[in-house]
Structure 1
Amino acid sequence: MKTYFADLHIHIGRTQSYRAVKITAANNLTLDNILIEASRNKGMDIIGIIDCHSPEVLIEIENGIKDGRYEELEDGGVRYEQTTLLLGSEIEINDERCIAPIHTLVFMPSVEKMKQFSNWMSERLKNIHLSSQRIYESGLTLQRKVKELNGLFIPAHIFTPHKGLYGSGVKASLKEVFDPNLIDAVELGLSSDTKMASKISELSRYPFLTNSDAHSLPRIGREYQKIILNEPTFKEFKLALEQREGRYIESNYGLNPLLGKYYLTTCAKCGAQADSQSSQCLICQSKRFTKGVSNRLAELADQKDETKSRPPYIHQVPLSFIPGVGPKTLEKLKNHFGTEMNILHYVSVDELKNVIPEKTAKLIQAAREGKLSLEAGGGGVYGKVTKE
């Protein structure tokens, strides 16, 4: 068995023909660029691209396989250099059971299965070419179709105020919308962690995933998991979610929730921090608020946290968040030490000091140890690192 790093929520911005896929994603977030960045710069062993249902993306993948640049693996996934691509799709559900739209992730074991899924969805979406589109079908029907195709079903960024399962989609329980038996894992999102999420008893049965939801190349790998597998394939990943045959998630690496965009409740008009019980903003008197994940989880909690029975969740600040690590410094570090995973996990402080200022090296070490001071985010604005 070996250790693999996996980030399973990455968007495509444009296809080779410059057709939009995820409209809000960067234009240079193409299939080839994602694979190059993940393999050569980030050091990600497994990535999930969640726009693979888009017909032009599927064509690019098939062409890459024909050209010999990619290799489709027998046990699922597509290999590029040191990285395995898992074929995924992000879908929005808003059936009669939902209070508000909910985003979900789906992963298919092969190109052929994803093509079948794309064809099925094309009759139920307004635009099959775009990412995160609303499916005109019930969540239960979607779950059953995914399982019919031997895929994985994972609710996405479940606590996010906008389009998260608990953030806005249900009153209190996932059973209001989904069949609990057809869920393989849940994705926490940037503003929560294992300690927070494990206070909800109905989540006790599911693995927790921490992913970047990258809308640009630099954001790839800002959250990820370390997984123990025999090989980086779809089949092995599924076994890890089931904790079978020695495969499992060893640890989750993610932002301290304070750094997420929705940790605090804020005024929806002026962005001022607000108490969750406030009826009116003290600054601008608006009565509209964006409820923070911390407040929403306090409403939902029905047990003490169960972190002892789960993989450790390690609060890790991405290199790009650390004061002093700008693009030039990051490039210098990668030129000396290779990938960002290598820099974050394996390079000693003394080695860092030989390349960058001692102060910056110590900040990277403090980030590894969770010793940085942070200012909480909310209302769509990231938190930030303030000092050591």
Structure 2
Amino acid sequence: MSFLRYFADLHIHIGRDWDGRPVKITGSNSLTVTNIVKEASRRKGLDMVGTIDAQSPAVQEELKYLIGHGKAVELADGGIKYEDTVLILGSEIEIYDDACKGPIHVLCYFPSIESMEKFSLWLKERMKNVFLSTQRFYGTAKELQDYVKANGGLFIPAHIFTPFKSLYGKGVSHSLTEVFDPNRIDAVELGLSADRDMANQIAELESYTYLTNSDAHSLRNLAREYQEILMKEKTFKELKRALKGEGGRGVTANYGLNPQMGKYHLTVCADCLTTLILAGEKCPSCGSAKIVKGVSERIRELSNMKGQQRTRPDYYYQVPLSSLPGVGKKTYERLLESFTSEMDIIHRIPYSELVTVVNEKVADFILAMRVGKLRFQPGGGGKYGKVLLNYD
């Protein structure tokens, strides 16, 4: 069997279960697991997606319904196939044990519904509400790592630089070893406000694969960030081997927002959003003491890499197709009707075909994004950056 390149977004929230009850309270009402796999397969063109609220028993029941009615198939090597997309079952969990300086979010993935159901039963003894997303785990980080690894799962710290609820944001002072067993981490997720070159400044991350995922709270934001993975087939087993770089497998490209687009790239005053060089005691503009330290400043504090890091996959700056200037709802739908999926439009459709459907200005923006020439206005303090109307 030969290797193929697959597009994967492994951090997607479930807003509601199939009875309309909340799973991720801040998630969209339309963000059910069924709608996620439909959107991923039919419109986004994603080969693999990870739903990180699959510990919810109601989500598991919905998946079993799809399988029981012949709409999905559980794969022998892990994952659930729906049309052209394979779903990987995951759970986002909040850790705040005695070793943590602040809460840390982590992602735990398992190969099957049975293994995820077993995990849910285990969590019920250590969590107040297993039906909801990103609940606090009442145990230590290493206890959670031990369970995940003993049961064939993947353990991945989430959005590791975000100022709130992340490994380096508030979780540790200097090193992941303050909280985690470094040998029981399968990869690290960079988050929307950091990229490869920023993460490369931290020596202890050198051995880990970098992941770029959307952290989507709506269908629109699926594939806001994603990666290209070289595998023999779309299964949990192959994903696990790819994260370790086994046998020629691996992440071959990361596609993510320019860090300037992230909500927490720069240090800003939380009240007036004045950009600050450093996180001082008070904002010089309004006097507020509510300062949100930016990811860029935090990484400068942690920077300790000496010499050259190992060769990493290329990192391409992108935004969702619907976020490009000139791509309103009607234009977006017209593009999808003409060219099948967002992945095809972003990566494969020639300029000569694009201009038969949209005007040259929109086609130029798509091509500028494809070759990394978009320009951005930085974000910070919870406010996203934006794409500028002129590009290089």
* TM range, smaller chain: over 0.9
Is 2:193–2:295's contact at 8 Å kept on the other side of the alignment?
Answer: yes
Out of 48, 51, 67, the residue aligned to residue 65 of structure 1 is: 67
Out of 184, 187, 196, the residue aligned to residue 189 of structure 2 is: 187
Aligned equivalents of 1:379, 1:233: Cα separation in 2 = 38
State the shift of 1:246 in Å.
2.0
1:290-309 equivalences under 5 Å are: 290-303=292-305, 306=308, 309=311
Is structure 2 residue 82 aligned with structure 1 residue 80?
yes
1:125-144 equivalences under 5 Å are: 125-144=127-146
Aligned equivalents of 2:307, 2:290: Cα separation in 1 = 31
Aligned equivalents of 1:28, 1:229: Cα separation in 2 = 31
Report the TM-score when normalising by structure 2: 0.97
State the shift of 1:278 in Å.
3.0
Aligned to 1:209: 211
Match of 2:183, SS? helix
Aligned to 2:362: 360
Deviations along 1:150-187, whole A, 9 cap, x unmatched?
10000000000010100111001000000000000000
1:299-378 equivalences under 5 Å are: 299-303=301-305, 306=308, 309-378=311-380
Match of 1:48, SS? strand
Aligned equivalents of 2:97, 2:241: Cα separation in 1 = 31
Aligned equivalents of 1:277, 1:60: Cα separation in 2 = 46
Letter in 1 for 2:165: K
Out of 40, 44, 47, the residue aligned to residue 46 of structure 2 is: 44
Aligned equivalents of 1:14, 1:225: Cα separation in 2 = 26
Q: Unaligned stretches of 5+ in structure 1?
A: none
Aligned equivalents of 1:142, 1:94: Cα separation in 2 = 12
Is 1:196–1:305's contact at 8 Å kept on the other side of the alignment?
Answer: no
Letter in 1 for 2:218: S
Deviations along 1:315-356, whole A, 9 cap, x unmatched?
122212211011111100001011000000001112111110
Is 1:194–1:307's contact at 8 Å kept on the other side of the alignment?
Answer: no
1:278-293 equivalences under 5 Å are: 278-293=280-295
State the shift of 1:31 in Å.
0.9
State the shift of 1:274 in Å.
1.4
Aligned to 1:165: 167
Is structure 2 residue 190 aligned with structure 1 residue 200?
no
1:374-385 equivalences under 5 Å are: 374-385=376-387
Letter in 1 for 2:87: L
Is 2:267–2:279's contact at 8 Å kept on the other side of the alignment?
Answer: no
State the shift of 1:368 in Å.
1.5
Is structure 2 residue 34 aligned with structure 1 residue 2?
no
Report the TM-score when normalising by structure 1: 0.98
Match of 1:245, SS? helix
Q: Unaligned stretches of 5+ in structure 2?
A: none
Aligned equivalents of 1:326, 1:266: Cα separation in 2 = 30
Q: Percent identity at matched positions?
A: 54
Letter in 1 for 2:71: R
Aligned equivalents of 1:340, 1:307: Cα separation in 2 = 33
Return closer, same or farther for 1:252/1:305 CA change in 2, 3 Å cut-off: farther
Aligned equivalents of 2:64, 2:343: Cα separation in 1 = 29
Letter in 2 for 1:235: K
Is 1:52–1:87's contact at 8 Å kept on the other side of the alignment?
Answer: yes
Deviations along 1:18-44, whole A, 9 cap, x unmatched?
111000000000111101000000000
Deviations along 1:170-225, whole A, 9 cap, x unmatched?
00100000000000000000000000001100000100000000000000001000
Letter in 1 for 2:293: K
Is 1:102–1:165's contact at 8 Å kept on the other side of the alignment?
Answer: yes
Match of 1:87, SS? strand
Aligned equivalents of 1:144, 1:278: Cα separation in 2 = 39
Aligned to 2:148: 146
Aligned equivalents of 1:305, 1:75: Cα separation in 2 = 39
Q: How many residues align?
A: 388
